[in-house]
Amino acid sequence: MSRTWVTPGGVHPPENKHQSLTQPIGQLPIPEKLIIPLSQHIGAPATPCVEIGQQVLKGQVIAQAAGLVSIPMHAPSSGTISAIEHRPIAHASGMLAPCIEITTDGADTWIEHQGISDYEHITPSKLIEMVGNAGISGMGGAGFPSAVKLNPGRQRPIDTLIVNATECEPYITADDSAIRERAGEIVEGIKILSAILDHPTNIMIGIEDNKPEAIAALAPHVEDSGISVVVFPTKYPSGGEKQLIYILTGKELPAGKLPADEGIVCINIGTTYAIKRAVIDGEPLISRVTTVTGDAVGTPRNYDTLIGTPVRHLLEHNQFDGQAGGRVIMGGPMMGFTLPSADVPIVKTTNCILAPSYAEIPDDDPAQPCIRCGMCAEACPVSLLPQQLFWYAQAEEHDRLEAHNLFDCIECGACSYVCPSNIPLVQYYRAAKGDIRKAREEKVKSDHARERFEFHKERIEQAEREKEAKRAARREATQQAKADHLAATANGGAAPSAPATASPAGAVPTSSAADIIAAAQARAAAKQANPEDQRAKLERTIASAEQRLKMAEEKLAEAINEDSGKQDKLSAAVENTRQKLEQSKSKLAELAE
Amino acid sequence: MAFKQVSSPHAHAAQNTSQVMKLVLLATIPGLAALTWQFGWGSFINVVLASVTAVCCEAAIVKMRGRSISFYLGDYSAVVTAVLLGLALPPLAPWWVVVVGTVFSIVVAKQLYGGLGYNPFNPAMVGYVVLLISFPIQMTTWVAPLALLPAGAAHPGLVESLQIVFAGYSPADGVTGATPLDVFKHSSGLLVDQVYDREPLFNQAMFAGAGWEWVNLGFLLGGIILLYQRIFTWHGPVGMLGALALMSIIFWDSGSSSSPGSPLMHLFSGASMMGAFFILTDPVSSAVSNRGRLIFGVLIGVLVYVIRAWGNYPDAVAFAVLLANFAAPFIDNYTLPRTYGHTDRRRATEKEED
């Protein structure tokens, strides 16, 4: 068995995983409405490519990836597009976001799709394209587009592929049950990943020792495959990417680096299953395993849930008792966030819906003063001093917070979990991080404004100096002329010598002003220089221009129908927009060259 | 259907601050039992009297500050301070000594600085030092341990003890006596072996002074329980005891007449064990990181030895702890742990890395 390393800190909250593992993965009836948020991932939200009233088939693209770091969305079932609007989504802030609503027809008719079985003979770039087109983003937590993670545009080759099957949060068993029932397909997915990454020397599935059934299920499939299943002791938060990398390799990811910089790709085990379905079966990511658990639901278990299923649908099919508990959590009890209502949909990262009873997770007691007992520091997996961070967060001492490495906090919640004074430490850190980011942005802005102001002042002064110099020169010239004239009249017309005009003072900007100008030019150049940014910008411009064009054309059509006499004006506007669109497109084409 | 909005984490460990404090109180029982067994009812009366005074003071101040009395008394921190002070005071000290010390601990050293969590100095030790400086006679009169009582005599009973404490009765002859550290402070001209031979405090003892060794063993036991319960880490106590042992080995001087005493005597006399496990482990006024607490402990161990051996006071835990409290923020500045993904430790005052 491979060696494993032990991370500092960590906690052992009650696991509560057995409740949802008594039954196999279930299937729910198709909900009447599916709500698909356009942003279920890190990166730009997808752009809708369907219209209200349009019929869609299961697996049909309903929104396209907008730019490089984005993913498309697919219809999870067949039906009619019934709304494209802002809806409440699963976000810690309870915000609204653009969504596509599908009213399902119950037929669940698939669009024509086809996979490929001999992925070994397909180029990695083609495979990555398939993964990207299937709308796959990381299903463990953050939802980073998988195709971007696997893209070969990196500094060094990948020698280690880590498949994260840790599932260290209490209650959640989505990965566990998926491995038990789909180990073969998961390993197939890992083999595809291996092919994409040009066969890394080290392929490890990291899993905690509280999942013996899953470990046993993987064993026959990984035999002679070069994939090792690495089992390590259960401890929260071993499943954090940085923690898992350390546990399996003994390497710490340097602050600010990505795993790829160290030759490592770390991917959630649920994502490998989605990759297998995408490549071998040609199916996009439209469903995932989600645990529904907690004492407030009747039968805790795992479901193969369509993306976009309202949480209400899951709860109602599980005899949810709204009186038993006060909160419904998306995710686990350590890092999950409470839902504002049951109307929010399941997204690609939703591994668990936890509806705890008051007895399981009581309301918080009021916080007592921090006595700096240090239990938080003992629990911290990244060796911070949470008690000091709390102290400085309260005092809003940003320099101190940064010196104490606030930004290395992974917000795992271990410190708050052990805090005997019930202090919501993580919340303080989130707020402090937000404040610091805002202050940084404002500093950049104000620096910029100050530089601009100084430059402006400098320019005015320079202009003033130049004018003054010119005036002086003129005055001198006049005096000279007068003198010459006098002399001429006196001497009888000798040619006047040209007045020695000194270079006007201040014509050359002072060095500090030169610096400011240079800095401004450099900034402008930097903006220009990055072709990716430029491209993304152009793509955005094109998208918005297309939309404007569409709207203008609609208006024009309307005007023609009604014969309102505005046709001329509107058709001019349409032409104008079209021209702009053409311009942007040609620029983009230029850039592509 | 609207749900409650709460930020993560949702799960909490069962332990709370009141439980931590109660556990500390429970862990003082072996020490208190040993004190009562070896020195009579005095310490017990001290502890009860100090606790009552502390709770009254805390309640009065919390009320004055317009806070919830039940909530703030519920954390038991005032009782912990009082119990530790009561244990440190000489048994059968007059009641007003205990009351003055407790009032100073709770009102001045703790509440005036902002209450629990905000006091820069250990409140019990502030109270103790105020008393030691103000009332040196009362503070240096110790009861003789059980083994040293004159034949046929016993420690005063509970009623008699109460009369001594509250009504100013004088204890019977032979009930008070010197402590082992006093003996060494005044043992000029004698070899350590001679001291051990002649002094009943030592020739009646197992290894470190009659009565005192039991008291220190009691506090050691309580401390080990707290360590096992992970109320604090080993760093502070080990730092202090290690430094104390090392200093007494270095200056042992093979038991000459100028030797300040053996390592065993230093570890198991006076307030060594109580200081190591119950005083310097006060998290509020100590250094914060484990490394910082180790240094904090070492500093106290060295200071205790220096004051015991060459200072004016026979014991020095209180002074050493207060001096180290001064140093704690300084220690903190240089002892930040190394964070995951960073190559170096940083300083607390360092600005953002460029």
Residue B353 has pLDDT above 50, yes or no: no
**Percentage, residues of chain A above pLDDT 70:** 93
Q: Transcribe A51-116 into DSSP letters.
A: -TT-EE-BT-EEEE--SSS---EE-SSSEEEEEEEEEE-S-TT--EEEEEEEEE-S--PBPP----
The secondary structure of B239-292, three-state, reads HHHHHHHHHHHHCCHHHCCCCCCCHHHHHCCCCHHHHHHHHCCCCCCCCCCHHH
Contact A413, B8 (CB under 8 A): yes
Do the strands A202-208 and A227-232 form a parallel or antiparallel pair, or are they unpaired?
parallel
Contact A78, A56 (CB under 8 A): yes
Q: Does B339 touch chain A (CB under 8 A)?
A: yes
How far apart CA A227 and CA A230 sit, in angstroms, is 9
Q: Residue A275: which of A351, A218, A190 has the closest Cα?
A: A190
pLDDT of residue A505: 47
Count of other CB atoms within 10 angstroms of residue A111: 16
Distance from the first to the final alpha carbon of chain B: 49
How confident is the model over B16-35, as a mean pLDDT? 93
Mutation target vs A (from B3, B110, B288, B351; most A CBs, 10 A cutoff)? B3
Q: Does residue A265 form part of some domain?
A: yes
B102-120 burial: b if 16+ Cβ within 10 Å, else e = bbbbbbbbbbebebbbebe
Do the strands A55-56 and A96-104 form a parallel or antiparallel pair, or are they unpaired?
unpaired
How far apart CA A130 and CA A375 sit, in angstroms, is 47
Question: Which pLDDT tens digit goes with each residue over B276-334?
Answer: 999 999 999 999 999 999 999 999 999 999 999 888 888 889 999 999 999 999 999 99
Confidence of residue A567 (pLDDT cuts 50, 70, 90): confident
Residue A489 has pLDDT above 80, yes or no: no
Task: Kindly state whether residues A286 and A167 are assigned to the same domain.
Answer: yes
Give strand pairing partners of A88: A96
**CA-to-CA dists, residue A346 to A36, A171, A269, B9, B269, angstroms:** 8, 17, 19, 21, 66
Contact A275, A136 (CB under 8 A): yes
Confidence of residue A564 (pLDDT cuts 50, 70, 90): low
Least confident of A85-94, A492-501, B105-114, B241-250: A492-501
Query: Residues near A224 by Cβ (< 8 Å), separated by ≥ 6?
Result: none
Q: Residue A288: which of A300, A278, A302 has the closest Cα?
A: A302
Q: Residue B127: which of B318, B347, B328, B291 has the closest Cα?
A: B318
How far apart CA A312 and CA A316 sit, in angstroms, is 6
How confident is the model over A60-73, as a mean pLDDT? 90
How confident is the model over A486-492, as a mean pLDDT? 71
Question: Which pLDDT tens digit goes with each residue over A359-405?
Answer: 989 888 888 899 988 899 999 999 999 999 999 999 999 999 999 99
Task: Kindly state whether residues A272 and A126 are assigned to the same domain.
Answer: yes
Q: Does residue A85 form part of some domain?
A: no
Q: Does B22 touch chain A (CB under 8 A)?
A: no
The verdict on whether omega for the bond into residue B150 sits within 30 degrees of 0, i.e. cis, is no
Q: Does B318 touch chain A (CB under 8 A)?
A: no
Q: Does B288 touch chain A (CB under 8 A)?
A: yes
Q: Residue A207: which of A235, A183, A230, A179 has the closest Cα?
A: A230
Considering only CB atoms, A329 lies closest to which of B10, B12, B20, namely: B10
Mutation target vs A (from B16, B67, B113, B340; most A CBs, 10 A cutoff)? B340
Residue type, A197: L
**CA-to-CA dists, residue A548 to A543, A585, A586, angstroms:** 9, 15, 18
Task: Kindly state whether residues A376 and A525 are assigned to the same domain.
Answer: yes
Say whether A334 and B117 touch across the interface (CB within 8 A): no
How far apart CA A526 and CA A316 sit, in angstroms, is 54
Distance from the first to the final alpha carbon of chain A: 51
Domain that holds residue A205: 117-316
Task: Kindly state whether residues A525 and A540 are assigned to the same domain.
Answer: no
Task: Kindly state whether residues A229 and A250 are assigned to the same domain.
Answer: yes
pLDDT of residue A235: 94
Which of A583-592, B149-158, B267-276 has the highest mean predicted lDDT (pLDDT)? B267-276
Residue A466 has pLDDT above 90, yes or no: yes
Contact A344, A311 (CB under 8 A): yes
Task: Kindly state whether residues A481 and A441 are assigned to the same domain.
Answer: yes
Contacts of A335 in chain B (CB under 8 A): 8-9
Least confident of A573-587, B18-32, B228-242: A573-587
Count of other CB atoms within 10 angstroms of residue B150: 11
How far apart CA B128 and CA A244 sit, in angstroms, is 50
Q: Is the dihedral of CA B126, B130, B131, B133 positive or negative?
A: positive
Residue A580 has pLDDT above 70, yes or no: yes
Q: Does B348 touch chain A (CB under 8 A)?
A: yes
Tell me A341's DSSP state: B
**Tokens standing for residue B56:** 């009254």
pLDDT of residue A498: 47
Q: How many residues does chain B have?
A: 354
Q: Is the dihedral of CA A23, A25, A29, A34 positive or negative?
A: positive
pLDDT of residue A194: 92
Choice between B110 and B147, residue whose per-residue pLDDT is larger = B110
The CA distance from A158 to the nearest CA of chain B, in Å, is 20
Confidence of residue B153 (pLDDT cuts 50, 70, 90): confident
pLDDT of residue A59: 93
Contact B319, B313 (CB under 8 A): yes
Contact A337, A311 (CB under 8 A): no
Q: Does residue A356 form part of some domain?
A: no
Which residue carries 């051996």 as its tokens? B309
Task: Kindly state whether residues A405 and A483 are assigned to the same domain.
Answer: yes
Binding-face residues of B in 187-226 toward A, CB within 8 A: none
CATH number of the domain at A269, please: 3.40.50.11540
Which of A481-490, A543-552, B318-327 has the highest mean predicted lDDT (pLDDT)? B318-327
pLDDT of residue B200: 77
**Percentage, residues of chain B above pLDDT 90:** 55
Q: Transcribe A209-253 into DSSP letters.
A: TT-HHHHHHHHHHHTTTTEEEEEE---BTTTSHHHHHHHHHSPPP
**Tokens standing for residue A515:** 């610096």
Task: Kindly state whether residues A181 and A272 are assigned to the same domain.
Answer: yes
pLDDT of residue B167: 84
How far apart CA A209 and CA A215 sit, in angstroms, is 8
pLDDT of residue A499: 47
pLDDT of residue B304: 94
Residue B34 has pLDDT above 80, yes or no: yes
Choice between B167 and B151, residue whose per-residue pLDDT is larger = B167
Say whether B289 and A356 touch across the interface (CB within 8 A): no
**CA-to-CA dists, residue A507 to A467, A476, B41, angstroms:** 10, 18, 94
How confident is the model over A530-557, as a mean pLDDT? 79
Say whether A341 and B2 touch across the interface (CB within 8 A): yes
Count of other CB atoms within 10 angstroms of residue A526: 10
Confidence of residue A511 (pLDDT cuts 50, 70, 90): low
Q: Does B227 touch chain A (CB under 8 A)?
A: no
Contact B119, B109 (CB under 8 A): yes
Using DSSP, how many helices (H) and how many strands (E) does chain A show?
15, 17
Contacts of B115 in chain A (CB under 8 A): 369
How confident is the model over B51-67, as a mean pLDDT? 94
How far apart CA B336 and CA B340 sit, in angstroms, is 12
State the burial class of residue A525 (Cβ atoms within 10 Å of its Cβ: 0-12, 13-18, 19+): exposed
Contacts of B350 in chain A (CB under 8 A): 403
CATH number of the domain at A525, please: 1.10.1060
How confident is the model over B14-22, as a mean pLDDT? 88
Chain-centroid distance, C-alpha A384: 25
Contacts of B349 in chain A (CB under 8 A): 399-400, 403
Give strand pairing partners of A292: A301, A353
Say whether A421 and B16 touch across the interface (CB within 8 A): yes
Task: Kindly state whether residues A435 and A534 are assigned to the same domain.
Answer: no
Task: Kindly state whether residues A294 and A381 are assigned to the same domain.
Answer: no
Q: Residue B123: which of B104, B109, B107, B133 has the closest Cα?
A: B109
Say whether B352 and A403 touch across the interface (CB within 8 A): yes
Question: Which pLDDT tens digit goes with each residue over A309-343?
Answer: 999 999 999 989 888 888 999 999 999 989 988 89
Confidence of residue A17 (pLDDT cuts 50, 70, 90): very high
Domains contained in chain A, number = 3
Q: Residue A351: which of A551, A106, A493, A164 has the closest Cα?
A: A164
Residue B223 has pLDDT above 50, yes or no: yes
Which residue carries 């000489």 as its tokens? B90
Confidence of residue A193 (pLDDT cuts 50, 70, 90): very high
How far apart CA A429 and CA A401 sit, in angstroms, is 9
Backbone angles phi, psi at A16, to 5 degrees: 50, 40
The verdict on whether omega for the bond into residue B9 sits within 30 degrees of 0, i.e. cis, is yes
User: Angle at the Cα of B81 (from B77 to B83), degrees rounded to 5?
Assistant: 110
Report ipTM for this prediction.
0.87
Q: Transcribe B174-187 into DSSP letters.
A: TSEE--HHHHHHT-
Considering only CB atoms, A327 lies closest to which of B6, B19, B339, namely: B6
Query: Residues near A135 by Cβ (< 8 Å), separated by ≥ 6?
Result: A71, A72, A73, A74, A284, A285, A286, A348
Mean pLDDT, all residues of chain B? 89
Say whether B336 and A403 touch across the interface (CB within 8 A): yes
Confidence of residue A589 (pLDDT cuts 50, 70, 90): confident
How confident is the model over A18-25, as a mean pLDDT? 92
Q: Does A294 touch chain B (CB under 8 A)?
A: no
How far apart CA B62 and CA A501 sit, in angstroms, is 83
Contact A334, A237 (CB under 8 A): yes
How confident is the model over A66-71, as a mean pLDDT? 86
Task: Kindly state whether residues A456 and A538 are assigned to the same domain.
Answer: no
How far apart CA B109 and CA B88 sit, in angstroms, is 17
Model confidence, pTM = 0.81
How confident is the model over A520-540, as a mean pLDDT? 72
How confident is the model over A343-363, as a mean pLDDT? 92
Q: Does residue A204 form part of some domain?
A: yes
Say whether A255 and B118 touch across the interface (CB within 8 A): no
Task: Kindly state whether residues A388 and A301 are assigned to the same domain.
Answer: no
Q: Does residue A534 form part of some domain?
A: yes
Residue B354 has pLDDT above 50, yes or no: no
Q: Does residue A100 form part of some domain?
A: no
**Tokens standing for residue A550:** 């569409």
How far apart CA A266 and CA A163 sit, in angstroms, is 6
Please give the helix or strand (H or E) that residue A290 lies within, else none. Answer: strand A287-293
